[in-house]
Amino acid sequence: MRLRAALRNLRALYGTWACLAEVMGVSAGTLQQLASGNGGSHAMALRAAKAAGTTLDRILGRPASADHCPACGRSG
């Protein structure tokens, strides 16, 4: 479930599934299936973390609130 949310957020960041897929080294169809809840693996989570420029713990950990700054907690 967390990988699914991370992939959807990364897709928004990169603009398209195709662009994200190229960065992650997988097909866009694979990412769309994963974002739909079909499958998932540690390797794919690691690729997502690398694409996000973050750690695997941040990808699979508790989701951060999108309306608060992760560094200071300020909303807006």
φ/ψ of 70, rounded to 5, equals: -70, -20
Residue 58: the pLDDT is: 85
Kindly state the average pLDDT of the residues 39-46: 88
Task: Identify the structural domains of the chain with CATH numbers, from first to last.
Answer: 2-60 (1.10.260.40)
What backbone phi and psi angles, to 5 degrees, belong to 46? -65, -40
Q: Which amino acid is at 8?
A: R
Does the pLDDT at position 53 exceed 80? yes
pLDDT tens-place string over residues 11-30? 999 999 999 999 999 999 99
pTM, entire model:
0.73
